[in-house]
Amino acid sequence: MLMLSQRGQESAPFELLIAMILMGFVLVVGFNALDKLNFEICKGNMNQSMEQIRTAIETVVKNKSKANVGFELPGCFREDESKLRILTSEEPAYCSAYCGGGVQSCKVLTFYNPLFSDTKCLRISQVTTFPSDDPPCNPGVFGNPDEYETVEWENQQEGISGGQYTLKAEFNLFSGTPEVCVYRRR
């Protein structure tokens, strides 16, 4: 009887070691799964922000109206590595891939980060411009001109920065092209 209890006591440290190794493995796998889940949520937040901007632009151009939209870069992407931009392309293969059909030229909203990238077709006239000059864009149209600044959104190297924006359609009788002024709240 004495021999059986000694064997149980000798195997107890080994069983404890095995249990600790298994618990460590479970924790590592669990934390990796949480990291992946958090990154997928972050990508979803970026996708949602892009959809809101795309919808606002398309609504403003189509309805000749204005729209408010906010953009903040999700925390999983570093600002110095990330770019959200509106680009114009004259490459039929590129435009067909993102906008479908036999499109010869297109405007797209594109996000790039080394870990994730996404592109959304802007279904607007290809001659639409996003000027920042006064005229046609005047930050004083909302009352206090010091409260807003006009910003350029199209083909900018630095990309669209975070903030609260008002998009407003401006139409010039002498210009047949739709113009969308982008005002950033200071």
Is 149 among the domain residues?
A: yes
Is 21 among the domain residues?
A: yes
Number of structural domains found in the chain: 1
Is 113 among the domain residues?
A: no
Considering the entire predicted model, what is its pTM?
A: 0.82
Structural domain including 72 reads 2-83+125-185
Is 99 among the domain residues?
A: no
Is 114 among the domain residues?
A: no
- 47-84 per-position pLDDT tens digit: 999 999 999 999 999 998 999 999 999 989 998 999 99
Q: Exposed, middle or buried: residue 167 (CB in 10 Å: 0-12, 13-18, 19+)?
A: buried
Is 37 among the domain residues?
A: yes
Is 131 among the domain residues?
A: yes
- 102-127 per-position pLDDT tens digit: 888 999 999 999 999 999 999 998 88
Is 103 among the domain residues?
A: no
